[in-house]
Amino acid sequence: DGCIKAVGQADVIRNQFSEATFERIIDCSGKCVLPGLVDAHTHPVWAGDRVHEFAMKLAGASYMEIHQAGGGIHFTVEHTRKATEEELFSTFKHRLERMLRAGSTLVECKSGYGLNWETELKMLRVIERAKRSMDIGISSTYCGAHSVPKGKTATEATDDIINNHLPKLKELQLRGEIHVNNIDVFCEKGVFDLESTRRILQAGKDIGLQINFHGDELHPMKSAELGAELGALAISHLEEVSDEGITAMARANCAAVLLPTTAYMLRLKQPQARKMLEEGVIVALGSDFNPNAYCFSMPMVMHLACVNMKMSMNEALAAATINAAYALGKSDTHGSLEVGKQGDLVIINSSRWEHLIYQFGGHEALINYVIVKGKVVYQNEMCETMSSY
């Protein structure tokens, strides 16, 4: 059934299953078996490359300057609206395959580059199709409030989402055509203010979606306090979170999804991972894969979390497995090697698991097998012929 039957000492398991026959046995002598990695925040469905913006950022342009010049999210929206469902699915599928080869077995995937109902639905359909046809696990997120569409005010966009998008989404969910897990809003100065964010998140919660949103990234917005109050499962970014917000999240068991790639690429101050951990916040990690932060690899995210956010390797591994699964409402089935949980594993070509974090960008020669629901979905032949050191 794709679930783990036993975990423990080899001789004990050998005795327990002495009568059993196996389709396949993998010799892991000198290797490490880890839970499949969980990427708790990605934007992987889009068209239109933004490599030119990377050059602008390197020359000193800020995220909001690019955004106001018609770049950023609006550039991607324009290209995603023009793309066919087939084109979007094709690029999305390749991105997910790259994530899988880097050890991710469960990925959160957002819409949000449509900003009108037709394109948001097109993106959600693409995500649904991947859910049904691919091995990798997907938690899908409706993120229609990713930005204010051109020609609308934030209030008009909020009303449109609450009165049009969410009722249509609810109907599709009831008909079983689509299964969306989370609702997301970009709560930010010049985007959706606290009151608009509250209204949208509450409306999403009312139709059964888990609250998991962008907050306190570029300006302190009191997003963390709002999330704790609304019973949010998780809040992402939090570079500008207040001390009160951290305390509120710890009390509410609201996970902080930290994105070290974003702070690194935008040269922002890093989220206060140490303070959050010390205060008892559940800290998770995500790649924030999108045209602005083009990173597929959770091993690289863990490395950046350790170096730039001062997390220990143990904390980073927990944040990229069990805590990231918690942020998606899936820690009862994913994120650790326990009897009864889904058999999602990564086997690395090293006797010490820390190499997965220590070797920056080394995952391509380190990850030997990726297993989802007990089935080998990726086997790296390079590991059989070369040392990973």
pLDDT in tens, 201-229: 999 999 999 999 999 999 999 999 999 99
pLDDT mean across residues, the chain: 96
**11-29 residue pLDDT tens:** 999 999 999 999 999 999 9
| Across 83-100, average pLDDT | 98
d(Cα 261, Cα 208) in Å, to the nearest integer? Answer: 31
What pLDDT is recorded for position 63?
80
Q: Assess whether pLDDT exceeds 90 at residue 389.
A: no
Which element (helix H / strand E) includes 227? Answer: helix 223-230
Extract the tokens encoding 120: 């948001």
Q: What is the CATH number of domain 3-34+341-379?
A: 2.30.40.10
pLDDT > 70: what percent of the chain? Answer: 99
d(Cα 13, Cα 15) in Å, to the nearest integer? Answer: 5
The two most distant CA atoms of the chain are separated, in Å, by 68
d(Cα 282, Cα 302) in Å, to the nearest integer? Answer: 16
What pLDDT is recorded for position 67?
81
Check if the beta carbon of residue 316 is closer than 8 Å to that of residue 285. yes
Nearest to 109 by CA among 98, 90, 124, 129: 124
Collapse the DSSP code of 142 into the 3-class scheme (helix H, G, I; strand E, B; otherwise coil) and give the result.
strand
332: left (phi over 0), alpha (psi -120 to 50) or beta: alpha
Same fold, 3-34+341-379 and 35-328: no
Q: Which fold has domain 35-328?
A: TIM Barrel (3.20.20)
Check if the beta carbon of residue 105 is closer than 8 Å to that of residue 346. yes
Sheet with 375-379, side-by-side order of all strands:
32-35, 345-348, 367-372, 375-379
What pLDDT is recorded for position 4?
98
| DSSP for 35-102, written as a single string | EPEEE--B-----S--HHHHHHHHTT--HHHHHHTT-THHHHHHHHHHS-HHHHHHHHHHHHHHHHHT
**234-244 residue pLDDT tens:** 999 999 999 99
| Across 165-169, average pLDDT | 98
N residues, the chain? 389
Q: Assess whether pLDDT exceeds 80 at residue 387.
A: no
How far out from the chain centre does Cα 201 lie? 19
Q: How confident is the model at residue 266 (pLDDT cuts 50, 70, 90)?
A: confident
| Across 136-155, average pLDDT | 97
Q: Which residue has better confidence, 79 or 383?
A: 79
Collapse the DSSP code of 153 into the 3-class scheme (helix H, G, I; strand E, B; otherwise coil) and give the result.
coil
Map out the domains of the chain as residue ranges. Answer: 3-34+341-379, 35-328
Kindly provide the b/e burial profile for residues 251-288, where b requires at least 16 CB atoms within 10 angstroms of the residue's own CB.
Answer: ebebbbbbbbbbbbbeebebbbbeebbeeebbbbbbbb
**Residue whose token pair is 């969910």:** 173
